[in-house]
Amino acid sequence: MTGSMSAGPDALLEALERHWGSRQFRPKQREIIEAVLAGRDVAVVMPTGGGKSLCYQMPALFRPGTAVVVSPLIALMKDQVEQLNKRGIPAAALNSHTPYPEQQRLRREIRQGRLRLLYLAPERLLREQTVELIRQTPVSYFAIDEAHCISEWGHEFRPDYRRLAELRAWHPQAPLLALTASATRRVRHDILEQLQMRDPAKFIRSFERANLRYLVRQTAEDTQPDLLEAALGAHPGSSVIVYGATVALVEETAAALNRRGIAAVAYHARLPNTERRSAQERWMAGSPSVLVGTIAFGMGIDKPDVRAVIHLSLPKSLEQYYQEAGRAGRDGLPSDCLLAWQPRDLGILAYFLKKISDPLEQRRAWRRYDDIRRYADGFTCRHVVICRHFGELAHSRLCGMCDICGPIPDWFERTGRNAGVTLSSAAARSRGAARRPPRRNNPPSA
């Protein structure tokens, strides 16, 4: 496939079924793709699992030239390139892991216009040799994934992202597509400003994931393993991700689970590439069903049937937690997101925050610390707290899908009682209250 396809009335649906095996778009996907095809700049905020990748992949089939996708993670690029090639869509990634002879071959293919999509990390894209290559290449559009990395107010700021506005000078007529799953209102505004987007079409999906049940429990070192085992026991044979803050915690947890007869595999950045890849592939195939990993795991993983995501320590921000917990239930079925934290987590986070030398960045980090702490020990509906954090108007109500609103699963209540933890008064009241259907939130403004 070297030429672009015709975008007739049914062409998008035909391409969706032919290459992605689906007969209908998820909410907003078609509108986003059509905006790109119309040549508009587009800003997208779509929750994890909402189908962002399709939004920047499909337009490449219809616009002439090569779509340049800026992505921060090599593992994500590799996975998506493999999936695209399996679907018959010529794609490649150019990064530090690409052998030199392969780089030379890819550069020839790029110049010849044989690729529909080219994935680059921002650091690689901004190298002089790559800049010259992109200048000489007909570019259909630029897609910037994880666009929150461009903002100093974001939780994963990467300085090289700030230079991506230079793309405008290379190909002034190429549309710019910015996508993220976790951006507050301030970050969204910063993205538009930093990228110098021109009257962009804005698409912001609700941050509420109504099929996810958020459960939060403060634990002690001796009670956390029992809660973890109870949570896993509630999802026997189902795909589960368990997040640990350190390599040591990940390895200890995986070993402990295996000793208890729960098959689990560890995943972290210190593992050799072959072992890490094997761990991911085995888990994707369903054996074992439990993967214990650091935050190095998860970006770009396309596994819709994850029934639970369990955190064994506080993430550094509510954005990070939302992104990681959101890897559960991408198929729309009910799934659990358990945050089992310990008081010492607060001290560890504070210790590293105090080491930040830049005063402004330290203040931002303390705000993120305050946000995740309020989420962890607060008594407001978890869904409401998350939606409000991202600037979405969310009304207080009984959602029936968190530990504050109830109903509370037996395994969660039982382990809390055994550990001497009392239910919040709000949760206790909600168990006996009449259930109301979740109220539709007003979409957040840009």
Task: Choose the weakest-confidence range: 189-203, 402-416, 432-446.
Answer: 432-446
How do the domains of the chain map onto residue ranges? 11-204, 212-238+305-432
Task: Choose the weakest-confidence range: 64-68, 107-111, 286-290.
Answer: 107-111
**pLDDT confidence of residue 366:** 94
pLDDT tens sequence across 219-258: 999 999 999 999 999 999 999 999 999 999 999 999 999 9
Overall average pLDDT of the 58-85 stretch: 91
Reported as a pLDDT band with limits 50, 70 and 90, residue 288 is very high
Indicate the Cα dihedral angle 202, 203, 207, 212, nearest 10°. Answer: -160
- Region for 199 from its dihedrals, namely left if φ exceeds 0, alpha if ψ lies in -120 to 50, beta otherwise: left
pLDDT tens sequence across 260-287: 999 999 999 899 988 988 999 999 999 9
User: Does domain 11-204 match CATH 3.40.50.300?
Assistant: yes
Reported as a pLDDT band with limits 50, 70 and 90, residue 426 is very low
**pLDDT confidence of residue 10:** 86
Give the span between the Cα atoms of 54 and 59, in whole angstroms: 9
Closest CA to 66 of 105, 119, 104, 17: 119
Give the span between the Cα atoms of 42 and 358, in whole angstroms: 33
**pLDDT confidence of residue 417:** 58
Q: Do domains 11-204 and 212-238+305-432 have the same CATH topology?
A: yes
**pLDDT confidence of residue 73:** 80
Say yes or no to pLDDT of 437 above 60.
no
- Domain 212-238+305-432, what architecture? 3-Layer(aba) Sandwich (3.40)
Reported as a pLDDT band with limits 50, 70 and 90, residue 160 is confident
Q: Which of 63-72, 76-85, 152-161, 271-280 has the highest mean pLDDT?
A: 63-72
Closest CA to 200 of 33, 317, 17, 36: 36
**pLDDT confidence of residue 235:** 96
Overall average pLDDT of the 312-317 stretch: 94
Say yes or no to pLDDT of 338 above 50.
yes
One DSSP character per residue, 215-247 reads EEEE--TTTHHHHHHHHHHTSTTSEEEEE-SSH
Reported as a pLDDT band with limits 50, 70 and 90, residue 433 is very low
**pLDDT confidence of residue 227:** 96
- Region for 271 from its dihedrals, namely left if φ exceeds 0, alpha if ψ lies in -120 to 50, beta otherwise: beta
Q: What is the pTM of this model?
A: 0.84
